[in-house]
Amino acid sequence: MLNNKTILITGGTGSFGKCFTKYVLTHYEPKKIIIYSRDEFKQFIMQNDFKEYGDKLRFFIGDVRDKERLQRAFEGVDYVIHAAAMKQVPACEYNPNEAIKTNIHGAQNIIDAALDSGVKKVVALSTDKAVNPVNLYGGTKLVSDKLFIAANAYAGHKDISFSIVRYGNVAGSRGSVIPFFQNIINKGGKELPITDYRMTRFWISLQQGVELVIKALEEAKGGETFISKIPSFKITDLAQAMMPGCEMPEVGIREGEKLHEIMVTVEDSFTTYEYDKHFIVYPQMVWSKDKTPTPTGKKVPEGFSYSSGNNTEWLTVEQIKELLKDVDLEK
Ligand SMILES: NC(=O)c1ccc[n+]([C@@H]2O[C@H](COP(=O)([O-])OP(=O)(O)OC[C@H]3O[C@@H](n4cnc5c(N)ncnc54)[C@H](OP(=O)(O)O)[C@@H]3O)[C@@H](O)[C@H]2O)c1
């Protein structure tokens, strides 16, 4: 379905964008992939790294805050993947209006520009932090998710759908626990601090995130939130996998930190369906009968929730050690 299509990725020079671009160029025959982002240097580096793909790859300097620029960039585009965001929790806390401009106004600009052009599908990236948010980053992503779901209502008879892919911290991503522990190990530290011994997380690789976005592009009718079924791990097990036998002092939970990553809440359970490898949370509002997605999976029981703490699939220390071999630490 991606063959001969023009795909635009906002935030295409980021971790997700580069992995998605590589995956699509090696598995499909797209007509063109357009990278939309602000920093010319990151685009220059990416252009060099992807030289072999020639003019299949195009680069557009632009800000998601700039609707006119987005409108120009979306000309002739079939699918938009919206990955651009301010995503560092402290940066969003200290610069709240900047986070609102990029993550919320930017989302609305994407929607407006997509509605005004011939775009057929928009998939926006969400995060577990948008679920019961405790910080501004999560709050802005929650609003962004709501905007994309509601956008299906103003699409009218236009052939366009908006949907969401939600996942948690990618293993090895900047600011996450693996690079934090690795940094201590590199400096010769002898113990790994644990904020709370009960702490758990999901394990997802960038490629799994990319594959879920492609699934959403293939299957979304509009308004769905796609969530991968992935294993959980205890932070204490991660510490033992990275430094076997180490001391693990408990240092206390940090402000805005959650004990578990939550993907599906009890409130979502009324419209959540289970599939082989993922869940889909369907929209609670209905905009038009012919465009509302029809679930084909198994409805989860009322009261169901899906978090890294109540998962049925858990990684052992040995399994974590194996997975760590393939983790690229973001610089
Ligand atoms: N990484 C994770 O663990 C994780 C987990 C769950 C969800 N997500 C979500 O996945 C998405 C992608 O994350 P990522 O890890 O790939 O992020 P990233 O590596 O920080 O990349 C962000 C990208 O967005 C661009 N960007 C930032 N502000 C922009 C703006 N105002 N206008 C246009 N482009 C802008 C950046 O390039 P310029 O600075 O050059 O503009 C860069 O290309 C985000 O929506 C994030 O919330 C990430």
Q: Does the residue 24 lie in any domain?
A: yes
Tell me the sheet residues that pair with 39.
Answer: none
Question: What is the distance of C-alpha 41 from the center of its chain?
Answer: 24
Pairing of strands 225-228, 278-281: antiparallel
In this prediction, residues 302-329 reach a mean pLDDT of 95
Report how far residue 77's alpha carbon sits from residue 74's, in angstroms, rounded to the nearest whole number.
Answer: 5
Q: Is residue 281 part of a domain?
A: yes
With a pLDDT cut of 90, the percent of the chain lying above it is 89
Whether the per-residue pLDDT at 228 is higher than 80: the answer is: yes
Between 101 and 89, name the one with better pLDDT. Answer: 101
Amino acid at residue number 128: D
- Whether 72 has a pLDDT exceeding 80, the answer reads yes
Q: Which of 312, 224, 228, 315 shows the shortest CA–CA distance to 275? A: 228
Q: What is the largest CA-CA distance in the chain?
A: 62
Whether 62 maps to a domain, the answer reads yes
Q: What is the pLDDT of residue 292?
A: 82
Ligand 1 atom nearest the C-alpha of 82 is: 45
| pLDDT of 331 | 63
Q: Is residue 3 scored above 80 in pLDDT?
A: yes
Nearest CA to 123 among 294, 31, 27, 2? 2
Per DSSP, the residues of 11-65 read: TTTSHHHHHHHHHHHHH---SEEEEEES-HHHHHHHHHHTGGGGGGEEEEE--TT
pLDDT of residue 290: 73
Q: Which two tokens stand for residue 266?
A: 């009890």
**3-state class (DSSP) for residue 144:** helix
Pocket of ligand 1 (CB under 6 A): 10-17, 37-39, 42, 63-65, 83-85, 87, 102, 106, 125, 127, 167-170, 173
Q: Which sign does the torsion angle of CA 308, 310, 312, 318 carry?
A: positive
| C-alpha 103 to ligand 1 mean position (Å) | 10
Q: What domain count does the chain have? A: 1
Evaluate whether residue 237 is within a structural domain: no
Angstrom distance (rounded) from CA 94 to CA 257? 16
pLDDT digits (tens, 9 = 90+) for 283-297: 988 777 777 888 999
Q: What is the pLDDT of residues 244-283, one digit of tens each?
A: 999 999 999 988 789 999 999 999 999 999 999 999 999 9
The β-bridge partners of 274 are 279, 298
Would you say residue 179 lies in a domain?
no
For 28-67, write each residue's pLDDT tens digit: 999 999 999 999 999 999 999 999 999 999 999 999 999 9
Average pLDDT rounded to a whole number, residues 183-196: 96
Counting ligand 1 atoms within 8 A of each CB, the residue from 15, 33, 68 with the most, and so the one to mutate, is: 15
Looking at residue 152, which CATH number applies to its domain?
A: 3.40.50.720
Q: How confident is the model at residue 139 (pLDDT cuts 50, 70, 90)?
A: very high
Contacts of 29 by beta carbon, 8 Å cutoff, 6+ apart: 2, 3, 4
| In a domain? residue 69 | yes
- pLDDT higher for 213 or 155? 213
Does 238 reside within a domain?
no
Answer for the pair 103, 11: CB distance below 8 angstroms, yes or no. no
Q: Classify the C-alpha dihedral 206-208-209-215 as positive or negative.
A: positive
Nearest CA owner, ligand 1 atom 25: 11
Cα(first)–Cα(last) distance of the chain, in Å? 34
pLDDT of residue 257: 86
User: Within 13 A of 168's CA, how many CA atoms are on the CB side?
Assistant: 25
Residues of the domain holding 120: 6-168+205-229+263-306
118-133 pLDDT, tens digit each: 999 999 999 999 999 9
Position 185 in a domain: no
